[in-house]
Chain A
Amino acid sequence: MAYSFPEEVLEYVFAFLSSHKDRNAVSLVCKSWYEIERWCRRRIFIGNCYAVSPQIVIRRFPEVRAVKIKGKPHFADFNLVPEGWGAYVYPWISAMVRSYPWLEEIKLKRMVVTDESLELLSKSFKNFKVLVLSSCEGFTTDGLASIAANCRNLRELDLRECEVEDLSGHWLSHFPDNFTSLVSLNMSCLGSEVSFSALERLVSRCPNLRTLRLNRAVPVEKLPNLLRRAPQLVEFGTGAYSAENQTDIFSNLVEAFSGCKHLKSLSGFWDVDPAYLPAMYYACTGITSLNLSNATVQSPDLVELIIQCPNLKCLWVLDYIEDAGLKALPSYCKDLQELRVFPSDPYGAEPNVSLTEQGLVTVSAGCPKLQSVLYFCRQMSNAALITIARNRPNLIRFRLCIIDPQAPDYLTLEPLDTGFGAIVEHCKELLRLSMSGLLTDRVFEYIGTHAKKLEMLSIAFAGDSDLGLHNVLSGCESLRKLEIMDCPFGDKALLANAAKLETMRSLWMSSCSVRRCPSSNVEVMDERGHPDSRPETCPVEKLYIYRTVAGPRVDKPNFVWTMDEDAVLRLS
């Protein structure tokens, strides 16, 4: 058999394939393509750290330079995964230290990272460039000091929403004086004050710095000096944005911001004094992304800033914006693609702001490019949802959280089945959906029938019976991740759709009615003891099912059981 192209040519062609899906597809064509592809794959994405073992990955892909790994299930963000569950990165790092000495990039999400891991990686990977830790925990600022001190070629240090034990701000001072390669620094989740002079010197000597996200402890007085040293910044996050009344500060800020001609993204804005917001106006024409989710100011002040950004594509804001503020978006920010509205008082019994379904309806009507929505509110109606669906059939992400569980349509007191049904029917490209409010089995019929492209579905307090879950599992052809809390779904739907579960990355069910689990590699979390030790009729607390080629976990805590200890190693 003659090959059309020599290996080198195929390798060269494969190098143009950047998506993991494409590379995976290529590797399935034939054995020789599999071989060539695996030797030249440089970037790996592992969506569930327990789906595969480090050894299997390393054996197949010997020349990797960049790794992205996700650990805990999404509901861990809301404290539903108990402490000590797992997702430790150390075994991965220690294996990669041996086999990937030239590793450059590690990106982790919802994993437990220790100082030991950080120190090991900082000392082992000589060409290490990029560390992105997203919603990770388990490390202290000492770990960051190791990274700063040892990673001579570091370009990115990005800590997004991590829980870091903040011992001091001294870690920043560990970057050596001859360290100049920094491109991106995000320390927004840290509490401690860093040395401002060390920060200024760092910013001054890194000419390629394009992203700087400060933490709350950096006062607004320090911003002009920093911005003057980095006029090339593209993404900037302030610290606390208020000060004692000093007129100098305002004019200094104006001058500094107007020197930043390349800014595209702004964030930070803790403790905002609205009087200082206009200082940024000169920098706003190029802004495409504005994260005001920390800005506890009133709607008029928010709107004043937002309307300075005619090129805005992405807006994250608190519900202080209110319906009145959202009305401004169609007129001033016609290019808006993503809107997230967060609750300022999620646990309050009564609404504290005038934000209702109307705000979302207005934006959906007037912003033709709107495709991604996350919206917290306290009332919704089927009529509004139907209107939104008809206005915006191009939606690809729709996450609606009505704060009161099982809140019905506030106008008719009916369930919101038809509203969400309209969303899935009209938005044919919908990839992600989160639902809330009063929902019966009906809505799952609609979802199973229409949501053919849906990849991720989040449900809470919904449905009446197993039929609901069955409709989702049997109808949603593209479903990869399903997370369910407090729904009356039980064994029947799982048993009837066991094969479906193998085509998905994971299924999470907590506080449902599952008693017996369908297949292998099912994790049960139960504080009360092994599921078999309780009455047959008793449901398990939490269930997490995922496909894996790695067999049962070896690092389970004492409240996790895998239901089939003889889980078979399934070949990929």
Chain B
Amino acid sequence: MSPESETSGGLKTELTLGLPGELQVQKSGIKRGFCEVVDLKLVNNSKSESQPSSKTQVVGWPPVRSYMKNLVRNCKYVKVAVDGAPYLRKIDLEIHSSYQDLLTGMGDLFTCLTICNVLNERKLMDSANGEEYVPTYEDKDGDWMLVGDVPWKMFVESCKRVRLMKSSEAIGLGAAAPSTPSKGSSTGC
């Protein structure tokens, strides 16, 4: 039994066990005895303050069914697949207000990915293997598009699901290769 469990105040830093794709919120001071391996991350208090708490969600808690979440406000859950990862995740587009916000949300959901804004293009990078991912989505017509090309609200309305595609494969979607920053060229395959 750890003496820290007696204190109700928070520590300055919160230990978070960040398994890929799963965000865990650990109450400070309660010793769990989990292993400290590759996935351990230190989350500064300041980071958690800048995110409204409704966005940092533990998977599976509180135990409510997904259809119950739709009642009080609009919910739009879409599946997010990451090339190479076996799990799919779901993300609620309605709780984000902009593309940047969405990227931040995806960075939270897939904790091994960080945002890197390269030449105004939105990408996520896996710091473990250096792989770059470009967010793409399937729209109502079944076409695969780059995330960010249409106004935000239009995107929320038409997006059916999201795929984080490896940069190398996304070139055909009109994503400019890092060395040739030309935008406004053809979109879609």
Specify the chain B residue showing the minimal Cβ separation from A529: B86
Residues of A contacting B21 in the complex (Cβ-Cβ under 8 angstroms): 527
Question: Within A512-560, which residues are at the interface with B (CB < 8 Å)?
Answer: 513, 527-528, 534-535, 537-539, 541, 557-559
Q: Are B24 and A440 in contact (CB under 8 A)?
A: no
| Bound form: Cα–Cα A318–B72 in Å | 11
B69 located at the interface, meaning its Cβ lies under 8 Å from any Cβ of chain A in the complex: yes
B59 located at the interface, meaning its Cβ lies under 8 Å from any Cβ of chain A in the complex: yes
Segment of B60-68, B165-173, B175-183 engaged in the interface with chain A: B60-68
In the assembled complex, the CB of B12 is this many whole angstroms from the nearest CB of chain A, namely 19
Specify the chain B residue showing the minimal Cβ separation from A490: B33
Specify the chain A residue showing the minimal Cβ separation from B73: A345
**Known contacts A82-B88, A527-B87; is-contact A464 B61 (Cβ 8 Å):** no
| Bound form: Cα–Cα A464–B33 in Å | 9
Residues of A contacting B69 in the complex (Cβ-Cβ under 8 angstroms): 346-347
Specify the chain A residue showing the minimal Cβ separation from B8: A413
A343 located at the interface, meaning its Cβ lies under 8 Å from any Cβ of chain B in the complex: yes
| Bound form: Cα–Cα A412–B52 in Å | 28
A169 located at the interface, meaning its Cβ lies under 8 Å from any Cβ of chain B in the complex: no
A303 located at the interface, meaning its Cβ lies under 8 Å from any Cβ of chain B in the complex: no
| Residue interface mask B154-168, A partner, CB < 8 A = 1 | 000000000000000
In the assembled complex, the CB of A222 is this many whole angstroms from the nearest CB of chain B, namely 22
Residues of B contacting A464 in the complex (Cβ-Cβ under 8 angstroms): 1-2, 5, 31
Residues of B contacting A179 in the complex (Cβ-Cβ under 8 angstroms): none
Q: Are A79 and B90 in contact (CB under 8 A)?
A: yes
Residues of B contacting A413 in the complex (Cβ-Cβ under 8 angstroms): 8
**Known contacts A296-B72, A460-B61; is-contact A347 B87 (Cβ 8 Å):** no
B189 located at the interface, meaning its Cβ lies under 8 Å from any Cβ of chain A in the complex: no
Residues of B contacting A75 in the complex (Cβ-Cβ under 8 angstroms): 60, 63
Q: Are A403 and B20 in contact (CB under 8 A)?
A: no
| Bound form: Cα–Cα A278–B5 in Å | 52
Residues of B contacting A441 in the complex (Cβ-Cβ under 8 angstroms): 1
Question: Within B85-109, which residues are at the interface with A (CB < 8 Å)?
Answer: 85-88, 90
| Residue interface mask B1-42, A partner, CB < 8 A = 1 | 110010010000000010111101101001111110100000
Q: Are B67 and A161 in contact (CB under 8 A)?
A: yes
Q: Which of A344, A511, A535, A538 contacts B24 (CB 8 A)?
A: A511
In the assembled complex, the CB of A507 is this many whole angstroms from the nearest CB of chain B, namely 16
Residues of A contacting B1 in the complex (Cβ-Cβ under 8 angstroms): 440-441, 464
Q: Are B37 and A79 in contact (CB under 8 A)?
A: no
Residues of A contacting B53 in the complex (Cβ-Cβ under 8 angstroms): 347, 349
